[in-house]
Structure 1
């Protein structure tokens, strides 16, 4: 039903998640990030509350493993959950419950951890980690490379319909928050297209927020 990768850029400290699912609007429920703290992907039979709960525990000083264990224990039904965590230092934790759907796997790598369920092949997850570790470019591009590698390795057992890419840096809001909530075909390709369109404007939107006097004009009505 879902595969994802959470990752950290060792050079910039950025944290990010890329995720795709056969379900609608995966980006609304599953990726959770907090600048300077960590990133959490909660999937399978998703409990969105696990994301902010784990981030709160990380922020209070818990390790990824301790935060994951405490959140799972506090909510019950852990056997239905699949969760991955990375903190601001690159430490990771992962969990897949006994009731995870279909073929499933979770693999930690260098500054990343990937997981999925209802996969066409468990090797899809190892392909994601390898692609992330080997890709060049910024964190967003490495996360997208992992998603594309997952599809090339077989992806889910059925079609995927939604995808999301989210990255935090030093600001309290995400510098990248792109979603394809439903596509009949290739939501990951559509997500990559959104990133290609957004990337040249990303810094402009940060500038507009932090110093409106330096805001670039886009030539639209009222934008002077």
Structure 2
């Protein structure tokens, strides 16, 4: 039903996630990012509340990802239905796949990343994502998307993929990238990649607009001065 990768950039400290699903609007339920705190993917039979819960535990108690994840799951009556991955601002990782996770499932931690999925075409789909992320170059978004393309090349989900999302936090308190393909009959990961290519040259300009409006560039659209 879903495969994802959470990751951290060792050079910039950015934290991010890319994911896809056969379900509609995966970006509305599953990716959770907080600047300078961590990233959480909540998937399978999704409980969205686990994302902010785990991030809050990381932020408030300086807990390691394993403790934050285990403590949050302990409060969930149906935790055996959940698949969750975590990476914190230091690059430490944790993951959990409950006994009721659907279909073929797997989770693999790598250097500054964790990949996980369920309802997969085969187990090595997830194994392919980690080296793709580790060996890719460019921005964190480029590396996350490289892992997603690798997963599809390895077989992807057992069924068709219909939605995809990319979410990244940097220095500001809000996500600097929050892109979604909520439904597509064909290649939502490719469409998401296209959105990133269009957004990337403007990303810093939108941060500048927020922090210092008088320094913000104009794009010549109505009302934009």
* Equivalence map 1:38-77=2 (5 Å): 38-59=38-59, 60-77=61-78
Q: How far apart are residue 109 of structure 1 and its match?
A: 0.3
DSSP 3-state at the match of 1:221: coil
Q: How far apart are residue 202 of structure 1 and its match?
A: 0.6
Q: Which residue of 2 aligns with 1:12?
A: 12
**Aligned: 1:115 with 2:119:** no
* Equivalence map 1:1-224=2 (5 Å): 1-59=1-59, 60-224=61-225
Q: How far apart are residue 22 of structure 1 and its match?
A: 0.2
User: Could you tell me how far apart the structure 1 residues matched to 2:42 and 2:173 are?
Assistant: 21
Q: How far apart are residue 179 of structure 1 and its match?
A: 0.3
User: Could you tell me how far apart the structure 1 residues matched to 2:111 and 2:222 are?
Assistant: 47
DSSP 3-state at the match of 2:4: strand
Give every structure 1 segment of 4 or more consecutive aligned residues whose post-TM-superposition deviation is greater than 6 Å. none
Post-superposition Cα deviations, 1:46-71, rounded to whole Å, max 9, x if no partner, equal: 00000000001111211100000010
User: Could you tell me how far apart the structure 2 residues matched to 1:222 and 1:117 are?
Assistant: 46
Gaps of 5+ in 1: none
Q: How far apart are residue 7 of structure 1 and its match?
A: 0.2
DSSP 3-state at the match of 2:18: strand
User: Could you tell me how far apart the structure 2 residues matched to 1:195 and 1:33 are?
Assistant: 17
Q: How far apart are residue 220 of structure 1 and its match?
A: 1.1
Post-superposition Cα deviations, 1:163-197, rounded to whole Å, max 9, x if no partner, equal: 00000011100010000000001000000000000
Post-superposition Cα deviations, 1:93-124, rounded to whole Å, max 9, x if no partner, equal: 00000010000000000000000000001100
User: What is the TM-score normalised by the length of structure 2?
Assistant: 0.99
Gaps of 5+ in 2: none
User: Could you tell me how far apart the structure 2 residues matched to 1:201 and 1:96 are?
Assistant: 37
Task: Give the count of matched residue pairs.
Answer: 224
